[in-house]
Amino acid sequence: MNDDLWSSLFGDFDSMQRRFEKMFSDLSDGNSKTYGYTMYQGPDGIPHVREFGNAVNEFSPRLGTSRDPFTDVTRNGDEVFVTVELPGVRKEDIVLEGNGSSLKVSVDAESKRFDKTVALPCEVDEDSFSAEYNNGILEVRMKAKEAAPGTRRIQIA
């Protein structure tokens, strides 16, 4: 009975151990998987984005699915900046929609689809939006409606 209980609880350890051993032997044999993007500007001034690695087909995003681009939102004084990474996208394919509290970025191109709505850290002037796109990086700048909060030292009694 104890052997049956032990086998039912831990019987798959052998197969799991074999899988781990194979995985680690593949790593030590140089059969590890690599995947990523590289971005560069060609001599003609045109930005290029290329996939690299030995697992390109394995890890490539499925066509037709929308991806969430990397974004960064910062505030410096009375200005708010939103930076969005959109590799391999033409400027003409980018759609920006903004209001006083959020910014929506979407791309629906033949080979790339991105979609993201970013909450802004404060209310912004809707007439102050300006955007630039260069080498796969979109930078959006806007003015905050209220002044940046200042700090002051508080005395402890």
Q: What is the pLDDT of residue 20?
A: 74
Domain-embedded: residue 51 = no
CATH of the domain at 116: 2.60.40.790
Domain-embedded: residue 27 = no
Domain-embedded: residue 42 = no
Would you say residue 84 has pLDDT above 60? yes
**Residue span of the structural domain in which 107 resides:** 64-143
The rounded distance, in Å, linking the Cα atoms of 19 and 8 is 19
Domain-embedded: residue 94 = yes
Task: Identify whether the C-beta of residue 135 lies closer than 8 Å to the C-beta of residue 49.
Answer: no
Q: What is the pLDDT of residue 11?
A: 63
The rounded distance, in Å, linking the Cα atoms of 81 and 144 is 10
pLDDT by residue (tens digit) across 59-80? 455 545 677 888 899 988 889 9
Domain-embedded: residue 71 = yes
Q: Sign of the CA dihedral 5, 7, 11, 13?
A: positive
Q: What is the pLDDT of residue 5?
A: 65
Cα 94 to chain centroid, rounded: 16
Q: What is the pLDDT of residue 140?
A: 95
Question: How many domains does the chain contain in total?
Answer: 1
Q: Output the DSSP codes for the chain.
A: -HHHHHHHHHTTHHHHHHHHHHHHHHHHTT-----EEEEEE-TTS-EEEEEESTTHHHHSPPTT--B---EEEEEETTEEEEEEE-TT--GGGEEEEE-SSEEEEEEE-SS-EEEEEEE-SS-B-GGG-EEEEETTEEEEEEEBSSPPPP-------
Domain-embedded: residue 75 = yes
Would you say residue 105 has pLDDT above 80? yes
Q: What is the pLDDT of residue 34?
A: 65
Q: Which two tokens stand for residue 107?
A: 């791309």
Domain-embedded: residue 117 = yes
Domain-embedded: residue 127 = yes
